[in-house]
Structure 1
Amino acid sequence: MAGLAKGLAIIELFADGRESLTVADAATGTGLSRAAARRCLLTLAECGYLAFDGKFFHPLPRLLRLGFAYLNGDPLPRVAQPILESIRDRTGESISLAVLDGDDVLFIARAIATHLMVTGVAVGGRRPAHAMATGRVLLGGYSAKQLDAYFSRAHIAANTPKTIVDPTRIKAAITQSRLNGYAINDEELELGFRAIAVPVTDIQGRLVAALSVGFSSARSDNQSMIEEYLPLLKDGARTLGQVLPRDILATLL
């Protein structure tokens, strides 16, 4: 089982958008020794999950099976997709659905706009929760004790000069997002990119996911974003919450 855990840890490194890994990259990213990382990489290559060109290991299509196993088994992305596409068609912007996975935001469904996006987030992509509107909405479901634990272990780094990294200020932003019913990301994750997110709750009022729209900051300021997109996001979140299966949280644990 230890070998399986090491292999999965290496596979997860590709979730950060990396196109290739060296043995040194894998060792650094997982905390394994170089010898152990090399053995795991070669095993994954032998099993058809990675290709090896003599220096770099690259993911192969077989890795998609692991992701599709989740997407096919979890009803949330399937139920949400038509709703995301409806909001996308009404706004002309890309719409995303995400959940918390550990200390990161994990995107599980997307409806992509026809124009180019400034962010490379895709289904299966992960981003730091503290620097995202989506993350602050999801962290809003934590108790004070859970938030303290999150800040004690999470890596709080600045993605841009605008990223808030002071835990006190982040906690204040999370509290404000709870009160407002939405959160905004103003170029904290990526310069030139803004987003607004709202919570998705089930019929029992439990926080399940976050729904967001993101776009180039050149196309809208924060106030316009609130006026134009917030009502549509809230309507979509409400619709999604009403059609979710009662046991939806069990599929996310």
Structure 2
Amino acid sequence: MTETKTPGDQFVQSLARGLTVIRAFDADNVTMTLSEVSKRTGLTRATARRFLHTLVDLGYVRTDGRVFELTALVLQLGYSYLAGQSLPQLVQPLLEELSAELHESTSASILDGDEIVYIARIHTRRIMTVGIMVGTRFPAYATSMGRVLLAGLPIEELEQRLASTTLKQLTPRTIADPVKLRAELDTVRSQGWSLVDQELEIGLRSVAVPVLHPDGSVAAALNMSMQASLADGTRDVDAVVAEALPKLRAASAKITDALRAQQ
């Protein structure tokens, strides 16, 4: 049973509601009407309207009079956090090199609860129905980066996270059975990499490796993603892994070396 925290006397309810409105927008809900925002946040239409128009006046939201969407100004809310972290800055140039070598999109993410959060991204073409950018979240169990991050957790912590995760059949290929998922994570832990073939979305294939802290714990994950069916039809799954894995591992090692040098 989830413990409910009672707000203290320093809690500002209006700020909390405003953040709830901002978080209501995501990759599946880029634009929304007032009614949709009200439904997703649980706020009344009148309350949702006040917060939306306040955010419009502040520049965080724009509207055409019927639908609302976030503006790029919202990114500044996360920049202070990212600026204080060394990992995104270390990862970005290596992702650029990887993308240039592999001619595919490359990404880095960290684990947050039962989801991965993108901290860096280089894309060569759009290969998903939703856009991926810094801050994008996906369920960890159905992604290559998520699986290397989950496999890197202490067993007790992994079991706790899996116990609170609802596994959904996102595509016909998704591993949504807890027993099979645990077996897959054992394989990922043993081999040190993960391949996910059209489990998050049909047509998307990705290979990922962990990025290690100097103490050996998992700090993040790197991946290369591509279309499952290439126009030239020359590369199968084994060929993709054989080409991408050494380069991903080399990039991961460089990041670990850089983290070690910072100590």
TM exceeding 0.5: yes
Report the Cα distance in structure 1 between the residues aligned to 2:22 and 2:110, rounded to whole angstroms.
Answer: 20
Report the Cα distance in structure 2 between the residues aligned to 1:150 and 1:244, rounded to whole angstroms.
Answer: 27
Report the Cα distance in structure 2 between the residues aligned to 1:153 and 1:39, rounded to whole angstroms.
Answer: 35
Structure 1 counterpart of 2:249: 234
One of 4, 8, 12 as aligned partner of 2:15: 4
Which range moves more in the overlay, 191-200 or 1-10? 1-10
Structure 1 counterpart of 2:236: 221
Contact 1:17–1:125 (Cα < 8 Å) also in 2 = no
Structure 2 counterpart of 1:143: 154
Return 5+ residue gaps in structure 1 as ranges: 249-253
Which range moves more in the overlay, 156-165 or 30-39? 30-39
One of 54, 59, 62 as aligned partner of 2:73: 62
Structure 1 counterpart of 2:95: 84
CA offsets, 1:147-180, max 9 Å, x none? Answer: 3332333342222111111122112211211111
Give the partner amino acid of 1:118: I
**Larger Cα-atom Rg:** 2
Secondary structure at 2:31 match in 1: coil
Structure 2 counterpart of 1:127: 138
Contact 2:214–2:260 (Cα < 8 Å) also in 1 = no
Distance 1:153 1:35, change over 3 A: farther
Structure 1 counterpart of 2:82: 71
Distance 1:23 1:246, change over 3 A: farther
Structure 2 counterpart of 1:99: 110
Report the Cα distance in structure 2 between the residues aligned to 1:39 and 1:170, rounded to whole angstroms.
Answer: 45
Secondary structure at 2:138 match in 1: strand
**1:238-249 correspondence to structure 2 within 5 Å:** 238-244=253-259
TM-score, normalized by length of structure 2? 0.85
Contact 1:202–1:246 (Cα < 8 Å) also in 2 = no
Structure 2 counterpart of 1:251: none
Contact 1:104–1:128 (Cα < 8 Å) also in 2 = yes
Quote how far apart the aligned CAs of 1:106 are.
Answer: 0.8
Quote how far apart the aligned CAs of 1:20 are.
Answer: 1.0
One of 185, 201, 217 as aligned partner of 2:212: 201
CA-atom RMSD, angstroms?
Answer: 2.2
Report the Cα distance in structure 1 between the residues aligned to 2:259 and 2:223, rounded to whole angstroms.
Answer: 18
Contact 2:95–2:106 (Cα < 8 Å) also in 1 = yes
More helix by share: 1
1:179 aligns with 2:194: no
Contact 1:117–1:215 (Cα < 8 Å) also in 2 = no
Percent of residue pairs identical: 36
Contact 1:134–1:183 (Cα < 8 Å) also in 2 = yes
Structure 1 counterpart of 2:7: none
Count matched residues.
246
Report the Cα distance in structure 2 between the residues aligned to 1:245 and 1:9, rounded to whole angstroms.
Answer: 38
CA offsets, 1:49-73, max 9 Å, x none? Answer: 1123333111123212123333323
One of 169, 178, 182 as aligned partner of 1:167: 178
Quote how far apart the aligned CAs of 1:76 are.
Answer: 1.0
